[in-house]
Amino acid sequence: MLSFFASYGGTIIIGVVLAAIVALIVAKLIRDRRKGKSSCGCGCENCPSSGMCHKK
């Protein structure tokens, strides 16, 4: 078991770091969505999908 971690330790650490980064990005997107912030970055006047972002 110890030899497994010795062989693949770098890969495991990189995988954990990448999973943490993805989790932080998803958490930020969820937080922004709950606050009503739009993720597209443009105006909503002529956007056909504005109903999805801003429920009336």
Specify the pLDDT at position 53: 66
How far, in Å, are 30, 50, 53 from residue 56 at the CA level?
A: 20, 10, 10
Q: Two tokens at 49?
A: 């999908």
Q: Show Cβ contacts of residue 40 under 8 Å, excluding neighbours closer than 6 positions.
A: 47, 53
Q: Show Cβ contacts of residue 12 under 8 Å, excluding neighbours closer than 6 positions.
A: 5
Radius of gyration (C-alpha) of the chain in whole angstroms: 19
Confidence tier at 43 by pLDDT (50, 70, 90): low
- Name which of 52, 1, 26 is nearest 44 in CA terms: 52
Q: What is the pTM of this model?
A: 0.64
Mean pLDDT of 1-26: 95
